[in-house]
Structure 1
Amino acid sequence: MYLCLAEKPDVAKKIVAAFPKYKKHDLYYEIMPCNEFPNGAYVAYCMGHLLTFDEEKMGTNTPWSLSGLPIMPKNYIYKPIKGREKHVRTIKKLANDPKVTMFINCCDSAREGMKIFTEIIKYVTNRNLPTKCLWISSLTPASIKKGMQELVPYKTKENLYHSAYARAIADFLVGINLSRSVSLRMQSEFASRNSENGDLSGLKREVFSIGRCQSPTLRLVYDRIKQIEAHIPEPFWTLSGTFEVDGKEYTGRWFKEDKNRFDSEEEIEELSIRLVEEPAVIKEVKKERKAFKPPQFFDLTRLQSTANKLFKMDPKETLRHAENLYLAGLLSYPRADNPYITAAEAPILSSVLEKLKYTESYSIYLPAPIRSTDLSSRYINEKKVSDHHGIIVLDVPKDFSKLNPGEKAIYDLVVKRVIAAHHEDALYDFTSIITVEDETETFLTKGKQEVSLGWKMLYQKEQVSDEKDDQEEENEEVAHLPDVKEGDKGTIVDTEINKGMTKAPPYLTPGTLVELMENCGSLMEEKEMQKILKKTSGIGTVATRDGIIHTLYDRGYLVNKNNKVLLLEKGRMLMDALGDKMIVCSPELTAKWENVLEAISDGRIDYKQFIGKAEKLVVKLLNDIEQISKSWNLDSSIKKIEEAKRKEEEKKLLGSCLKCGSQVVLKKGFYGCTAYSMTGCDFQIKEKILGKKISSAQVKKLLKDGKTNTIKGFKKGEDLFDAVLSYNVAANKLEFKKPEIKEKVEKKERTIQISIFNQQ
């Protein structure tokens, strides 16, 4: 009997469903004997990571002090994550079952999946059994069965575990040491200053976390915000001219070499007046037919950025929907880091396109003119596929209505990319005319005509691609130009001056941020760093970038407001303090590390060597922090943080206590008086009364007017009733009152009036 270990319960369920018979037990399944498993198999499952470092046993859970740094554990010991103990006990029982003769890793076919599997097996048993890996990119029954028949020896993938293990330790060392050092030094700064309102208690305990991926990501946002804040809008002017040649009119825009705008209004006005009614001659007419290829299949980053652009969907939400579709067998593995597939996937596409042909939403685009097996290397490229191929559609839902709106949106994006790949290029004829006026001034006119819509028939309203050629096509002016030729002469009959203002760089969105994290190498000055970051795909991985961004939200460094990633004062303070020279705030560190981690995965470098270098780096970074902290000046940031905290506290104030006049706030499970600790005022209102949650707005009204509006849905026994709440100060209790009939009639009359108005 074999023990298969899946990363999540839904994956385990998919695995067992691929075989004829199985039983469900508490936290695991049992596959009955079959061709693939002659003696049957257990299929247990994790919940992602089940273990974490046991800092108590490692000796790292010590009181915070600068004298206790650096922290360098001699051994790294694990313990179950709180709430996961039962899963660990179940896997331990199965792993030590004498009937089990082989372990099969069914976790994600990637670095982190290897880590999850290896850690838990090492933790629960000392048995040295043969171990293999299920290495697949889709969870269709056919793929699972094929994968089980072609299991990969664990040893061929073990270096992926070593890479993940080394990365986890290095990140732990950077995080625990640098976070403590910066936090303690910051707290010391706060304590040495007297704030205007004398309240620094919150800041004295403020923790500033540092991380190899989160800190450079925070720096990307910080730098963008600083660019926006530093930008001073400046006016500029452009000049358009209307030409008449042989009775035909067209408009062109002034340019000279690489310049197409003026910084002086007087200069452009003088030119505009001078040119009217002057002779013009057509210097050049260029006509070119351009073919625009369909966009490539999605990788996760492109899927996240596209979904954010079109639907303002958060990258984490996009991944969740894509994972649900993957678990349902509708899409391939979503954590793809490339847009390519292998020839083995082409027949799958042929099959699914045949099914899509009979759906209401996609039948209009099918059958497509290009067969899946004839797709070019733009889509099928075995050399560029590593562990997982690009995201493709695997099947059609039996009932589309059972997909939630987010799942439908993601499924539609992927399906259209797949169908588009099977359509011809979009063809356009582009014309450019250069007109010379007064023998010195040149004007450019651009036009575009559709020849063949091709794959763009799938996208009539959306911008679908972030690829360079498609952007160029989108930026062309859409105009039907008159039939003119070089040497034709005419006049400029009119000019128009347009004023504009220079714009700051746009705010980062969650979608553009994940793209910038991947492509941050373009921001580096050193060519070598650019190459490394391009090769290693920047900060984090496709599987971790959304989590890194959310960590920055959770730590109070960033906030997503109206789909803009904004810098909070705490994040600004940290970046101001660390400056622009700390390597931990630069993509350079993650670039160098990822380069080495890849070498560990390939077996070219020993993981212990990397951990040793990480320890030395931590010592250096601690010294760097000590030096830069001597020149910190945080007065301005402290005032801004205190003001933000004060405003946040004010928002929590609901009104004056009906007993003593102090402020009332929401506490844990009830609304209470803030003066309780000083005066013993016992005014309170439960947050939930007779099964009904009492909102802050209702409490505000009660404190202001002495009673709430009618609250519906109180439950006493089996009876539901509506009531107005009021507070009897003398009796020190809340009272229920029947809603006034007059109030109901007035409300009804208002409703009738609105209804009549809406019908007109």
Structure 2
Amino acid sequence: MAGAGGQVRLFIAEKPSMAAEIAKCLPGPASRKDGYINTGGGVITWGYGHILRQAEPDEYDPKYERWRAEDLPIIPREWKLLVADSCKKQFEIVKNLIDQATEIVHAGDPDREGQLLIDEVLDYVDNQKPVRRILLNALDEQSIKKAIVNLRDNQDFFNLKQSALARSRADWLIGMNLSRAFTLAAQRAGHRTTLPVGRVKTPTLALVVRREREIENFKPADYFTVKADFQHSDTVFTAYWKPREDQPGLDPEGRLADKAIAKALLEMLEGAAQPAAVTLCETSEKKEPQRLPPALSTLQVMAGKKFGYDPQVVLDTAQKLYERKLTTYPRSDCEFLPESQHEDAARILGNLSGLAHGELAGWSGKADSLTRSRAWNDKKITAHHAIIPTVERCNYAALSETERNIYFLIAQAYIAQFYPVHVYDQTKAELEHAGERFTANGRIIKELGWKEVYGADAEEKKEDDSTTLPAMTKGDSAEFIRASADKKSTKAPGRFTAATLLAAMKEIHKYVKNPDLKKQLKDVAGIGTEATRATIIKELIERGFLREETKKKYLKPTEPAYLLVDMLPEEITYPDFTALWEDILQQMADGSANLDTFLGQQARFAASLCYKAKGANIPLKGEHHCPRCRKGVLQLRNGKHGKFWGCSRYPSCRASYDDKNDKPDIPVRQTEGQG
């Protein structure tokens, strides 16, 4: 392994598929070796995701193999990484190649996790060689060659690595300590179960549990929507009654809930002698910019709504399209595009217009590649950009149905960037009749623009959006024709699906408990990351805390889910703290927060919750409550001399009783004391 003049550049990719694509774009013949590829432009090796893993508690100290409340919290003084068993051979190959290299190119995925998993290997082997960074948002030849020319200093991404380290270590502190603390607390109350607690997983599960309880406790209530038809010139239009603030009969949401008041209101409106007066009528031109191309979570929500796909399927499919060089990097949290990429527009649109898909081909043919939507904005780009088609020509017919559908959504959003903005005239009218106020809204489309690409999917119909209003001016009269009160019922909130739960994780500010935090957290990109949200939901289903029901795959919590959420303190079941942590992790990536300070906070947080676990109020599970401590249940065990019954709170309660016909043989006086 040698380069020109003894210089050896080593690329370390995150996975073999990415390494193979880089190798194709380097000069000279490529020869594949065991665990790496030699080319005239350098050597390429790879990991398999994380080559290194975090040590388990018992790998810090063997005493932690047994779960004991008195050992908690476990706070490592120095964090330990170990080579994953499945990666030992590849690790040795990578280590030897680093020793021989003169320069290293970090080719991890362009995100927080991708930054860490190559950096942690370099740190582990105490690399002192210079390290550059390549950011691959797409795997087509043009994008890779452009990225190779534009390598950056890996030190530029130090803060991103710190943020990833903080996330990884905080998750360890919370997961390892609280899972043990609350599992032990549950077992002391007789529950034979293991309860995994996670910084993101637990508040996500709690969202579903709370939603299910809202549905169970929901009692429908009737309310009335009052509307009236008016005529001005030759046009009849509908306007909606707007109650005053002091209007009697309103429910907490400001809806008219009193039937008698609704009836009296209609009679008063019908009996009024004077015509209605127009108190306001104004028309303004509104412009709706093109819908931005998607980040991963937007794509997951769109695909969930349109095709019923769960988030993991969308991520897996987007990953396949990326590896086939048809679309850009999927684990993106960004909905904007680099301005330099605009030069590829004509080529990409040209490819799309030749697709074996009538709609995409038709829309592309009408798109104007010179149009520059708000999506092209370098200031909004970090390591990522939105997911778009690449310059590679797509053989649409060769894709699977799922791949075609996901490619369709990505291409549709890209094409929409090259249509004009949507322009309409918005008219708002207010009328007064019999002392009551009515409002009507009208909309006249002047230029359909990008909505031509989305059709009905782009429209958000509002109940009081009437289609046409006559030309009116303040002071005009309008003839009252009729009034009606439509009886409606409040509806229970809908159950989450995987797609809507993912959307809730992204818009977590809506679910925080502390109202002061809502505003602060609105700009936080939710809880979890684009790459992990789908995995977290999938894990909750696989571990039996959530189950999918009916064709629509509604998520319902199981009995262990209720137990876990009910026994945990609010600090870990509401998303407030987790969302704040995401905010701090983002600050760390920006260089304005400190890793050690953050981990110190997490250690104190874990310690306080371990203490709370000792006094957690958990319903006892078991037929025979312990008559001695009254806080545990008697469980059948096997001892040296055969079966016996012992308290679930052992060793703090050492009550034990002989077994008599599969029941504890409790002396009568103790049984009486129990009553």
Q: TM-score range by the shorter chain?
A: 0.7 to 0.9
Larger relative contact order (C-alpha < 8 A, sep ≥ 6)? 2
Residues 150 and 228 (structure 1), Cα distance of their counterparts in 2 relative to 1, 3 Å cut: same
- 2:204, 2:115 → 1: CA distance? 26
Question: Any residues of structure 2 matched to 1:279-678 within 5 Å, and which?
Answer: 279=273, 280-284=275-279, 285-359=281-355, 360-366=358-364, 370-372=368-370, 375-376=372-373, 378-437=374-433, 439-463=434-458, 471=460, 477-482=465-470, 489=477, 491-524=479-512, 529-530=517-518, 532-561=520-549, 562-580=552-570, 583-627=571-615, 629=616, 631-633=617-619
Aligned to 2:38: 30
Counterpart of 1:263 in structure 2: which amino acid? A
Cα distance, 1:277 vs structure 2: 6.6
- 2:238, 2:596 → 1: CA distance? 68
Query: Is contact 1:573–1:634 with CA below 8 Å preserved after alignment?
Result: no
In the alignment, is residue 269 of structure 1 matched against residue 263 of structure 2? yes
Q: Give the counterpart of 1:221 among 208, 211, 236.
A: 208
Query: Is contact 1:332–1:394 with CA below 8 Å preserved after alignment?
Result: yes
SS at match of 2:521: helix
Say which is worse superposed, 207-216 or 219-228, in terms of deviation: 219-228
TM superposition score normalised by structure 2 = 0.81
SS at match of 1:71: coil
Aligned to 1:57: 59
Aligned to 1:18: 25
Query: Is contact 1:58–1:76 with CA below 8 Å preserved after alignment?
Result: no
Residues 266 and 635 (structure 1), Cα distance of their counterparts in 2 relative to 1, 3 Å cut: farther
Question: Any residues of structure 2 matched to 1:2-151 within 5 Å, and which?
Answer: 2-20=9-27, 21-31=29-39, 33=40, 37=41, 41-55=42-56, 56-59=58-61, 61-96=64-99, 98=100, 100-123=101-124, 125=125, 128-151=128-151
Describe the superposition over 1:355-385 as per-residue Cα deviations: whole angstroms up to 9, x where unpaired: 323334434224556544x525x21222221
Cα distance, 1:531 vs structure 2: 5.4
Cα distance, 1:184 vs structure 2: 0.7
SS at match of 1:506: coil
- 2:592, 2:472 → 1: CA distance? 64
Counterpart of 1:215 in structure 2: which amino acid? T
Query: Is contact 1:160–1:601 with CA below 8 Å preserved after alignment?
Result: yes
Describe the superposition over 1:275-332 as per-residue Cα deviations: whole angstroms up to 9, x where unpaired: 4475432424443433222111212221111111111211121111222222222222
Query: Is contact 1:356–1:396 with CA below 8 Å preserved after alignment?
Result: no
Describe the superposition over 1:143-176 as per-residue Cα deviations: whole angstroms up to 9, x where unpaired: 2223223322232323332332233222112111
Cα distance, 1:177 vs structure 2: 1.1
- 1:595, 1:493 → 2: CA distance? 55
Query: Is contact 1:66–1:184 with CA below 8 Å preserved after alignment?
Result: yes
Which structure 2 residue ranges, 5 or more long, are not aligned?
1-7, 625-675
- 2:150, 2:475 → 1: CA distance? 71
- 2:173, 2:231 → 1: CA distance? 72
- 2:211, 2:200 → 1: CA distance? 17
Q: Give the counterpart of 1:241 among 224, 228, 240.
A: 228
Query: Is contact 2:326–2:394 with CA below 8 Å preserved after alignment?
Result: no
SS at match of 1:272: helix
Aligned to 2:649: none
Which structure 1 residue ranges, 5 or more long, are not aligned?
191-202, 464-469, 639-760
Q: Alpha carbon RMSD of aligned pairs, Å?
A: 3.0
Q: Across the two proteins, how many residue pairs are aligned to each other?
A: 601
Say which is worse superposed, 405-414 or 171-180, in terms of deviation: 405-414
- 2:234, 2:600 → 1: CA distance? 79
- 1:557, 1:368 → 2: CA distance? 49
Query: Is contact 2:278–2:477 with CA below 8 Å preserved after alignment?
Result: no
- 2:397, 2:266 → 1: CA distance? 60
Counterpart of 2:15 in structure 1: which amino acid? K
Describe the superposition over 1:170-229 as per-residue Cα deviations: whole angstroms up to 9, x where unpaired: 211211111111001101112xxxxxxxxxxxx41x111111111222222233233333
Say which is worse superposed, 439-448 or 400-409, in terms of deviation: 439-448
Cα distance, 1:624 vs structure 2: 2.1
- 2:322, 2:135 → 1: CA distance? 15
- 1:598, 1:397 → 2: CA distance? 36
Describe the superposition over 1:479-532 as per-residue Cα deviations: whole angstroms up to 9, x where unpaired: 344566655556544443321111122222322322222222244465763455
Residues 494 and 114 (structure 1), Cα distance of their counterparts in 2 relative to 1, 3 Å cut: closer
Query: Is contact 2:440–2:464 with CA below 8 Å preserved after alignment?
Result: no
Describe the superposition over 1:215-253 as per-residue Cα deviations: whole angstroms up to 9, x where unpaired: 222222233233333321111122333445566544333
Counterpart of 1:529 in structure 2: which amino acid? L
Residues 303 and 246 (structure 1), Cα distance of their counterparts in 2 relative to 1, 3 Å cut: closer
Cα distance, 1:105 vs structure 2: 1.2
Residues 462 and 531 (structure 1), Cα distance of their counterparts in 2 relative to 1, 3 Å cut: closer
Describe the superposition over 1:545-595 as per-residue Cα deviations: whole angstroms up to 9, x where unpaired: 222222222332223332323222211111111243xx2333333244334
Counterpart of 2:91 in structure 1: which amino acid? V
SS at match of 1:451: strand
- 2:255, 2:399 → 1: CA distance? 51
SS at match of 1:209: coil
- 1:598, 1:496 → 2: CA distance? 53
Say which is worse superposed, 485-494 or 384-393, in terms of deviation: 485-494
Aligned to 2:647: none
Sequence identity of aligned pairs in percent?
Answer: 27
Query: Is contact 2:233–2:470 with CA below 8 Å preserved after alignment?
Result: no
Residues 111 and 481 (structure 1), Cα distance of their counterparts in 2 relative to 1, 3 Å cut: closer
Cα distance, 1:24 vs structure 2: 2.6
In the alignment, is residue 230 of structure 1 matched against residue 217 of structure 2? yes
- 1:337, 1:521 → 2: CA distance? 17
- 2:341, 2:232 → 1: CA distance? 57
In the alignment, is residue 187 of structure 1 matched against residue 187 of structure 2? yes
Cα distance, 1:43 vs structure 2: 1.7
Residues 238 and 528 (structure 1), Cα distance of their counterparts in 2 relative to 1, 3 Å cut: closer
- 1:75, 1:424 → 2: CA distance? 57
Residues 291 and 607 (structure 1), Cα distance of their counterparts in 2 relative to 1, 3 Å cut: closer
- 1:226, 1:232 → 2: CA distance? 12
- 1:579, 1:616 → 2: CA distance? 15
- 1:536, 1:180 → 2: CA distance? 30
- 1:596, 1:477 → 2: CA distance? 42
Residues 500 and 86 (structure 1), Cα distance of their counterparts in 2 relative to 1, 3 Å cut: same
Cα distance, 1:447 vs structure 2: 3.4
- 1:251, 1:151 → 2: CA distance? 62
Cα distance, 1:618 vs structure 2: 1.9
